Amino acid sequence: MIISFVLSIHAQDSKINVVVIGAHPDDCDVDVGGTAYQFAQMGHHVLFVSLTNGDAGHYSKGGGALAKIRMKEAEEAGRRFGVTYKVLDNHDAELMPTLKLRHDVIRLIRSWDADLVITHRPYDYHPDHRNTAIVVQDAAFLVTVPNVAPDVPALKTNPVFLYSHDNFQKPNPFQPDIAIDISKVYDKKVYGMAAHESQFFEWLPWLNGVLDQVPENETERLEWLGKMRFQVITPNIRKSLEKWYGSEKAADATSAEAFEICEFGRHPSDEEIRGLFPMIGK
């Protein structure tokens, strides 16, 4: 596998550089799509990375043919979100936290000159998700160490590393340190997710036994997907929204994305978080 790391085009501007790392094409969209869309609309730089090519996630397609489909879907999703989408050529359902993959992730984070890095928590049903989290955690400090993967210059400042929201409770439940109101862009998130047709209109409905319920019409599909993926704001996330947006705006929010600070990266102050998430003040 050959990976191009000629990505660092943002070092000289004042924009925020965000790297979202998921295990599969569509993971970044589900976990961070609404927040990423807002970053992109404000002119900031967002990189979505899938550590696998998604070549196992289907009931009738697979291998190289499915990987090509998922690559094209990711490219379209990137266009819809206004982000750069990179899919690495590792097999789905076989991801391991190898030294090589750690160095690949270090290079990607450095090349994007990342201020924020967002990934899965290590507590998850899918081994690819867990191993993605391990790889990113292992990279968190090392992105600042010059003698590790020295072909790409080390970052002078450690990024803030964040976990995306999940509902798993053991060994530790998710802690919503940061919550972002995506109510006004939820439809944009759904439209971006819908680019992954093989997932949201084929594979996942088949897994859930509702394939026969998927509409044929595009407008109806978007409405159906929006309802299927909608998540009620939990009390803990509502409380976090109140902290960042104030009680009045938090009460009006209908959809949100939340993030937990990973202690392996930089430990940001509240003021720094507000600077890293400028949509909070809008």
Q: Give the residue carrying structure tokens 């400042």.
A: 157
Contact of 81 with 192, CB cutoff 8 Å: yes
Q: How large is the average pLDDT for residues 239-261?
A: 98
Helix-then-strand count for the chain, H and E: 11, 7
The pair phi, psi for residue 87, each rounded to 5°, is: -115, 120
Percentage of the residues of the chain whose pLDDT score is greater than 90? 94
Instruction: Return the pLDDT at 6.
Output: 43
DSSP string, 128-183: HHHHHHHHHHHHHHHTT-TTSSTTSPPPSSPPEEEEEP----SS-----SEEEE-G
Q: Does 13 score more than 80 pLDDT?
A: no
pTM: 0.95
Contact of 42 with 51, CB cutoff 8 Å: no
Q: Give the residue carrying structure tokens 């991801």.
A: 95
The 8 Å CB, 24+ separation contacts for 246-249 are: 249/181
- Is residue 227 classed as helix, strand or coil in its secondary structure? helix
How far is Cα 146 from Cα 156, in angstroms, rounded to an integer? 9
Calculate the dihedral angle through the C-alpha atoms of 153, 154, 159, 163, rounding to the nearest 10 degrees. 90
DSSP string, 8-73: ---TTS-S-EEEEEESSTTHHHHHHHHHHHHHHHTT-EEEEEESS--TT--SS--HHHHHHHHHHH
Q: Does 272 score more than 50 pLDDT?
A: yes
Q: How large is the average pLDDT for residues 142-155?
A: 98
DSSP character at residue 122: S
Instruction: Return the pLDDT at 281.
Output: 82
Instruction: Return the pLDDT at 12.
Output: 53
Per-residue pLDDT tens over the stretch 24-79: 999 999 999 999 999 999 999 999 999 999 999 999 999 999 999 999 999 999 99
Closest CA to 89 of 134, 54, 58: 54
Per-residue pLDDT tens over the stretch 208-217: 999 999 999 9
Q: Does 136 score more than 90 pLDDT?
A: yes
Q: How large is the average pLDDT for residues 245-266?
A: 97
How far is Cα 124 from Cα 133, in angstroms, rounded to an integer? 10
What separation in angstroms does the CA of 282 have from each of 96, 177, 180, 277? 40, 19, 11, 10
Q: Does 18 score more than 60 pLDDT?
A: yes
